Structure 1
Amino acid sequence: MSTVLVTGGAGFIGCAISTALADRYDRVVAFDNLHPQVHPQPVRPAALDARVELVVGDVTSAEDWDSLLAGVAPDVVVHLAAETGTGQSLSESTRHGAVNVVGTTQMLDALRRTEHLPGRIVLTSSRAVYGEGAWRQADGNLFYPGPRPHAMLEAGRWDFPDAEPTAMRADLVEPRPASVYAATKLTQEHVLSVWSDAHGVDLRVLRLQNVYGPGQSLSNPYTGIMSLFCRIAKRGESIPLYEDGEVRRDFVLIDDVADAVVRATTAEQVGPEPIDIGSGETQTIRTAAETIAARYGAPAPHVTGQFRDGDVRHAWADVAPARERLGWEPQFSLKDGVERLAAWIDDQPGVE
């Protein structure tokens, strides 16, 4: 018997990987607290493959872990469970620290306590660990500008002068977290790395860009802008664009992310360096909004000049290492992904 345990397994990514995991493993167990921010009704999601066993519990609870592991000895752990709201983490820092950091250490202590050491752990981390990332000066040198100050944004100076942003890639760009959420995700990476090295466990870390697509919670205000843009355009309204509309993002469809996560559970030789997962292309917020507006026949998006302190100006992944180490290739363009997301939203009852 081969068993895979998925923390946060009833969430967006957990449901998306459930069928592929059930096809590959003899037993798949999802461990999830069905948090109301993600699950308005505390019931098993319809999108979770019927072959998956759902155990309701809290990753921060040692008792819940002991109860779970009394009947589950995982060969592979996919660690998805996390609080993900970047802005929310500034006002609910304890909650993010408890779930993302303490939840991870509780998991590791329980695995050791019950002598159920897995052969492999896959962690879904975040592009947020890079913060503003690295920029390249005209002379070719990289520098790390850090978060843009309020005065800079208030003056409408969106980019750093005489410099160009670079793609996020773990072997070239240092992590520089600029939010509580990002700091907790990087801490997850560090804690798991030290523990896995000490116990001979094979750790694979995937740093995900902006994941979107069918199945994403429409009731959670922290799940991203693609579904929000679709709902605005669906109402026949113009999508508002912050800053100058030229913010770059890497929107990667859930189907491609699910494929990467499943490959990370099965690939033979991956290596310890985190792997960046994105769409293989970069686009501006304006391009994404225009694509969505065209899909719905909505008015053209409009620039508001508004901004949010702490927002990263540009973020996209270099996916070459993912191709080499996972044998993975993103399959969906932005237009393909928007169509899949919009068609799914259109089928949801009561969505306006």
Structure 2
Amino acid sequence: MRGGLKVVVTGGAGFIGSNLTSWLVQHPAIGRITVVDDCSTGNTALLGADLAEIDFHRGSILDARLLDAAMVGADAVVHLAALPSVPRSVADPLASHHTNATGTLQVLEAARRADGPLVVGASSSSVYGAQPNMPKAETDRAMPLSPYAVTKLATEAYLGAYHACYGLDVLPLRFFNVYGPRQQAGHAYAAVVPKWIDAALSGRAVPVHGDGTQTRDLTCVDTVCRVIAAAITDRVTSPWPVNLALGTRTSLLDLAALLGDALGSPLRLKHIAPRPGDVPHSQADPTRLLGLFASAAAVPLDEGLARTVAWHREQRAATVRAGGGR
């Protein structure tokens, strides 16, 4: 028998959101799942068979009436809806602000009207920006270098303010370079892992911005889903941001080598100009995370990449079977 918790996931048709929705559909403590997504960057196809198990509201988080309808009876809201990507925000900062900052405010207002469900909000390691300390601790000064990073800093600040002013239970989580199955490659702002896998499977050289010595704390989406599910069921709260990463550090050159292993052949690298707003190094201090979620654990990078490559290969095979091969 399923439990009685109702959970709302904004951005639930996106990469992280669809993975989380699949986790929640299988979770015995979760009784009802509502997804809000305008599908501007997400896709209901990512939800697969789970779409039949949820209440899906297609629309924008800027629509207050839609949010009110979705949040009736909610115990928790996982706010993942956003316009992702640093380069996208550099190209169109106003769009990033409206969706990421104003959208968060709309979600919080709706949560306040809905008698205060727990609000888990997605921030980003990009807020650290030019902060030189390594690893990055939540007590370090945020020094954002892009409009996207500023919107994510606003997101977590709004969560903290709504806890202080209205007593809302909140949990701002700073994601660090999340990767895994369902992360899309076919657009201009694709993240590095799917972009590189797609290029390699297509026989193209892999674009590397800069010299490739940049480092990232790559976090498998399964780790993110496990932590968020625990936050919902145990109602874990924090008015202060929490890094959601386990303190690993991988250079882009090492990532290329590991992907080559997963793919079965080395990647051909093509070095191009660095991107404006990019952070050179990123690594989380997981102390606060482990204080709240003692069982949090990183999926080994080689294992996570192997699963991700397998998903991309299956998607290509499915496209070919459907007659859309390229």
TM interval, shorter chain, is 0.7 to 0.9
Q: What is the aligned counterpart of 2:147 among 176, 180, 185? A: 180
Asked if residue 9 in structure 1 is aligned to residue 9 in structure 2, the reply is no
1:252 pairs with 219, 224, 234, which one?
219
- The equivalent residue for 1:277 is 244
C-alpha displacement of 1:338: 1.1
Distance (Å, rounded) in 2 between the aligned partners of 1:47 and 1:194: 38
**Pairwise mapping of residues 59-98 of structure 1 onto structure 2 (< 5 A)?**
59-69=61-71, 72-98=72-98
Match 2:22 to one of 12, 19, 24: 19
Query: Number of paired residues?
Result: 314
- Quickly say closer, same or farther: Cα 1:295–1:199, change in 2 above 3 A: same
Q: Could you tell me how far 1:247 is from its partner in structure 2? A: 0.8
Q: How far off its partner does 1:279 sit?
A: 4.5
Partner of 2:102: 102
Paired AA for residue 347 in structure 1: E
Instruction: Kindly state the Cα deviation for residue 337 of structure 1 after the two structures are TM-superposed.
Output: 1.2
- Aligned: 1:167 with 2:169: no
In the TM superposition, residue 82 of structure 1 has moved relative to its aligned partner by 0.8
Give, in angstroms, the shift of residue 123 of structure 1: 0.6
- Flag the 1:298–1:233 CA change in 2: closer, same or farther, 3 A: farther
Aligned residue for 1:330, secondary structure, equals coil
For residues 220 and 48 of structure 1, the distance between their equivalents in structure 2, rounded to whole angstroms, comes to 25
Q: For the Cα contact (< 8 Å) 1:207–1:277, is it kept in 2?
A: yes
What RMSD, in angstroms, separates the aligned Cα atoms of the two structures? 2.2
Question: TM-score normalised to the size of structure 2?
Answer: 0.88
Deviation (angstroms), 1:49: 5.6
Distance in 2, Cα, partners of 1:314 & 1:301: 23
Q: Distance in 1 between matches of 2:68 and 2:285?
A: 40
Residues of 2 paired with 1:217 and 1:337: CA distance?
16
Tell me which amino acid in the other structure corresponds to 2:106.
Answer: Q
1:132 Cα shift? 2.3
- Kindly provide the amino acid, as one letter, of the partner of residue 66 in structure 2: D
Alignment partner for residue 34 of structure 1, among 31, 36, 39?
A: 39
Q: State the identity %.
A: 29
Superposed CA offset, 1:65-120 (max 9, x none) = 34434xx22111111111112111122222111111221222233344xx412241
What is the deviation of 1:312? 1.1
Give CA deviations for 1:262-320 in whole Å, capped at 9, x if unaligned.
Answer: 12223355533211112542110000001112332434544626322322110111223
Distance across 2 between alignment mates of 1:119 and 1:111: 6
- Decide which structure has greater helix share: 2
Q: Does residue 235 in structure 1 map to residue 196 in structure 2?
A: no
Give the residue type in structure 2 aligned to 1:225.
V
Task: Please tell me the residue identity of whatever aligns with 1:33.
Answer: D
Residues 114-263 of structure 1: pairs in structure 2 closer than 5 A: 115-135=113-133, 166-171=134-139, 173-263=140-230
Taking the aligned partners of 1:220 and 1:102, their CA distance within structure 2 comes to 25
Deviation at 1:29, TM superposition (A): 0.8
Q: Distance in 1 between matches of 2:42 and 2:163?
A: 30
Q: Secondary structure of 2:47's match?
A: coil
- Measured in 1, the distance between the counterparts of 2:87 and 2:10 equals 23
Q: Is the 8 A contact 2:34 2:70 kept in 1?
A: no
How many angstroms apart in 2 are the aligned matches of 1:300 and 1:96? 33
Unaligned runs of 5+ residues in structure 2 are: 320-324
Please report how far the alpha carbon of residue 238 of structure 1 lies from its aligned counterpart in structure 2 after TM superposition.
4.3
Q: 1:334 Cα deviation (Å)?
A: 1.4
TM-score w.r.t. the length of structure 1 is 0.82
- Measured after TM superposition, the shift of residue 221 of structure 1 is 2.9
After TM superposition, give the deviation of residue 5 of structure 1 in Å.
Answer: 1.1
